[in-house]
């Protein structure tokens, strides 16, 4: 299961800046005004071979009349509850505040792995000033500057020391894992019940019945895999119960734990923004994908309905369109076994390996037919291509001027790979490296 690291602290201590540095992104908005981060951001990070997820929480507020700040407080408490490691960020330029003391009290009672991180320590004078934070009673502290990155290496060394040893071997490691994900009440539990032929999971018309992720081993008709029924992912603005905040975090973990995600869409409602958001989480984690349009038996159909629905889906998830879409009904078991066949096929596509000699023979012909456009009078020559030993299909193209290859040409190469080899439902990564 994925390791989870939460960044907590009062407003404007630099949590979003640290999040952006750890995830090598700019997803979290950074501003001098306190309270900019209203909800949580999820990102991926890695250090010394360990992959982990990072959560950027909103600033912890107490005794406030702001309705947003009340919700932020709930989110922070749940992030603390669910995380493996907590980074408690404080600001050396303001010293210890009453709010810092209150957060420290909460963290001491949490029995979690808590690291006290003093931010904005970028000179010797501030290093001396940081020592006052020992009085919070949270043990050793780490002095960093999230802006320029100083001190973050030692911090990350400590973070990964809390993670389980990577060499732990589980008998289930080689078994395909399929996560059934989607908005609340789209029929995830009903689908699992239909697949396994029994009422394994609770099904009600009430959104959010499934609060946790449930694993089910499936061994029938020559298949052997694990089904993961996740709690419904719902828009954060509509999540009013603490348990549903918790469910969102568990669902994200289940996506990370899986090999292929079965994304359920409600046929009676069409593809919505939250469906696209879940698709984005799956893409960022580089998982295989099958889109299931559930409750298809409840839709009034004509000869064009299926095609129009498919086009609407592909338009929302563009430019990634090489993904199977299956119209099904968990209630009537329509196309239920096609779902299994397609999920297994996508799993195999994700683990496909192509011989280097065969790959070069094909791709050199593709490149000769359409060479990369020259830039500033310089010609780009791609000499060699190989598939990297990663969990998802990843290809390295070696050339003389990798920095000049633009996105359109990269898409051209990806499309040609998909034309020749079946990578349906699987994201492809392409890197250009100096020969």
Rounded Cα distance between 274 and 116, Å, is: 35
Rounded Cα distance between 255 and 178, Å, is: 9
Distance of CA 425 to the CA centre of its chain: 17
Whether this prediction's pTM lies above 0.85 is answered by no
Helix extents (H) in 91-224: 98-108, 124-130, 152-161, 188-196
Determine the pLDDT at residue 189: 76
Rounded Cα distance between 51 and 156, Å, is: 11
- Residues 6 or more apart in contact with residue 131 via CB below 8 angstroms: none
Residue 214, token pair as written in the block: 């449930």
Rounded Cα distance between 64 and 72, Å, is: 11
CA distances from 23 to 45, 146, 154, 200 (A): 5, 12, 16, 38
With beta carbons less than 8 A apart as the criterion, state whether 90 and 117 touch.
yes
- Look at phi and psi of residue 350 and say left if phi exceeds 0, alpha if psi is from -120 to 50, else beta: alpha
Rounded Cα distance between 142 and 156, Å, is: 10
Rounded Cα distance between 429 and 435, Å, is: 18
Residue 422, token pair as written in the block: 């079946």
Residue 292, token pair as written in the block: 């299931």
Cis peptide upstream of residue 319 (ω within 30 degrees of 0) = yes
Q: Where are the beta strands (DSSP E) in 243-393?
A: 260-266, 288-294, 325-327, 382-387
Determine the pLDDT at residue 184: 78
Burial grade of 80 (CB within 10 A; 0-12, 13-18, 19 or more):
buried
Determine the pLDDT at residue 208: 41
- Residues 6 or more apart in contact with residue 414 via CB below 8 angstroms: 428, 430
Digits of tens for pLDDT over the chain (435 positions)? 468 898 988 888 888 889 888 887 654 434 343 343 334 566 778 888 888 888 877 666 555 554 445 555 666 677 777 788 999 999 999 999 988 898 888 888 888 899 999 999 988 899 999 999 999 999 999 999 988 889 999 999 999 999 887 544 444 557 889 988 888 778 887 888 787 765 443 333 434 433 344 577 777 667 788 888 765 444 554 444 444 445 456 667 778 888 999 999 999 998 988 888 888 888 888 999 999 999 998 988 888 899 999 999 999 998 888 999 999 988 888 888 899 899 999 999 999 999 999 999 999 999 999 999 988 888 999 999 999 998 899 999 999 999 999 999 999 999 999 999 999 999 999 999 987
The three-class DSSP label of residue 198 is coil
């Amino acid at each position: 299961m994925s390791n989870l690291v939460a960044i907590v602290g009062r407003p404007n201590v630099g949590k979003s800046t640290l999040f952006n540095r750890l995830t090598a992104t700019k997803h979290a908005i950074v501003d001098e005004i306190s309270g900019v981060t209203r909800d949580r951001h999820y990102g991926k990070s890695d250090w010394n071979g360990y992959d982990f997820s990072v959560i950027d929480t909103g600033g912890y507020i107490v005794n406030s009349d702001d309705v947003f700040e009340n919700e932020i407080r709930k989110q922070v408490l749940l992030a603390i509850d669910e995380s493996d490691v907590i980074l408690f960020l404080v600001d050396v330029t303001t010293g210890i505040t009453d709010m810092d003391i209150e957060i420290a009290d909460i963290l001491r009672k949490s029995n979690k792995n808590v690291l006290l991180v003093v931010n904005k320590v970028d000179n010797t004078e501030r290093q001396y000033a940081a020592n006052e934070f020992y009085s919070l009673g949270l043990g050793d502290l780490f002095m960093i500057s999230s802006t320029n990155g100083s001190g973050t290496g030692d911090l990350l060394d400590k973070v990964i020391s809390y993670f389980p040893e990577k060499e732990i071997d589980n008998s289930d490691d080689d078994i395909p894992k399929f996560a059934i994900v989607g908005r609340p009440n789209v029929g995830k539990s009903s689908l699992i019940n239909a697949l396994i032929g029994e009422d394994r999971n609770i099904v009600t018309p009430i959104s959010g019945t499934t609060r946790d992720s449930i694993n089910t081993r499936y061994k029938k008709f020559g298949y052997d895999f694990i089904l993961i029924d996740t709690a419904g992912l719902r828009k954060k603005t509509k999540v009013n119960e603490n348990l549903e905040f918790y469910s969102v975090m568990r669902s994200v973990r289940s996506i990370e734990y899986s090999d292929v995600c079965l994304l359920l869409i409600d046929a009676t409602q069409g593809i919505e923004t939250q469906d696209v958001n879940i698709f984005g989480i799956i893409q960022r984690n580089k998982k295989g994908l099958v889109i299931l349009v559930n409750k298809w038996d409840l839709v009034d159909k004509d000869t064009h309905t299926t095609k129009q629905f498919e086009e609407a889906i592909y338009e929302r998830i563009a430019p990634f369109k090489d993904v199977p879409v299956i119209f099904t009904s968990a209630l009537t078991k329509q196309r239920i076994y096609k779902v299994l066949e397609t999920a297994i096929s996508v799993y195999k596509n994700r683990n496909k390996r192509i011989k280097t000699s065969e790959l070069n023979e094909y791709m050199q012909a593709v490149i000769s037919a359409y060479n990369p456009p020259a830039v500033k009078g310089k010609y780009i020559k791609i000499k060699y291509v190989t598939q990297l030993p990663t969990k998802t299909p990843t290809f390295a193209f070696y050339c003389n001027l990798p920095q000049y290859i633009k996105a359109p040409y990269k898409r051209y190469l990806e499309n040609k790979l998909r034309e020749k080899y079946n990578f349906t439902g699987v994201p492809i990564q392409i890197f250009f490296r100096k020969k």
